Amino acid sequence: MSFKAVLYIENQERILINSELVYSQLADINGRPTQLPMGEPLHLVFPSNAQDELFYEYMFAPNRMCKGYIRVFKRDGLQKDFDIEFANAHIIGLKEHFSSTGKEPMSMALTISYGISRVKGVIHEKKWNPSNPFKISSATPIQRKTTLEPTLEDGYFTTLKGDRIPKSELKTGIEVYYVLETQNAIGEFIDLDLADAENDFKYNGEIVPNDVLEDLQITGNSQKIKLEVIRQQN
């Protein structure tokens, strides 16, 4: 199962196709740094949609700043791995790309120059940054809020009557349930890896590519997904 990263920016949410964050330092001939670390602009690519006018508005307003963060999830697609936060940022590059082939025919690429960033709790601030939104004032009491991370508890196959079946006993042509048990994950989207070397599956009449059911929304702590077991296609 692949990792998932989601961009949250100005009340918008985008699942990323790819992103790149680079820090660098100039060094002398001996490899010793000769200046402070530099943070290069953040490069992001995500599928285009009808609500992308926000990014054009920021692109064409050079004095307008935005803030947001990228959340990188663990392989289960539910639990947070780490955040890349940025603030006092400008969109300095925007590119819409169309292709008549592939899974993502329309995509948008953004280049974001930020005044300050915080990655895995470590802050990097540029000289021109006007303020530090990550700094907590000593006069402000810290309020700790307990948030429960979503977790994947278990996953297994059953007959339509509810009897549990080992994966090794799945037979071509039968219908089964895949029971997914989670905690604190309702409303989340995951890529569910069925990972069967002997069989393939159909879901809602469609073959599941590479045994990975993509963008499955969690609707309950215990969720049944009806599948048809079919002969291996490759």
Chain segment 106-134, per-residue pLDDT in tens: 899 999 999 999 998 899 999 999 999 98
pLDDT recorded at residue 160:
93
pLDDT recorded at residue 167:
87
**Residue 204 tokens, joined:** 């809602």
Residue spans of the domains in the chain: they are 4-125, 151-231
pLDDT recorded at residue 109:
96
With bands split at pLDDT 50, 70 and 90, how would you rate the model's confidence at 234?
low
Share of the chain above pLDDT 70, in %: 93
Burial class of residue 107 (count of CB atoms within 10 Å of its CB; 0-12, 13-18, 19+): middle
- pLDDT digits over 49-83, tens only? 888 999 999 999 989 999 999 999 887 777 788 99
**What's the topology of domain 4-125?**
Pnp Oxidase; Chain A (2.30.110)
pLDDT recorded at residue 110:
96
The larger pLDDT score, comparing residue 168 to residue 147, is at 168
Contact of 166 with 196, CB cutoff 8 Å: no
**Residue 35 tokens, joined:** 């200046």
Average pLDDT of span 91-119: 90
Average pLDDT of span 165-175: 90
pLDDT recorded at residue 96:
93
pLDDT recorded at residue 114:
96
The larger pLDDT score, comparing residue 109 to residue 193, is at 109
- What spatial distance separates the first Cα and last Cα of the chain, rounded to whole Å? 19
Share of the chain above pLDDT 90, in %: 50
Which of 12, 18, 215 has the alpha carbon at shortest distance from 109? 18
Residue 208, pLDDT above cutoff 80: yes
Q: Which residues pair with 114 in a beta bridge?
A: 89
pLDDT recorded at residue 2:
64
Q: How far apart are CA 208 and CA 193, in angstroms?
A: 10
Contact of 224 with 179, CB cutoff 8 Å: yes
* pTM summary value: 0.60
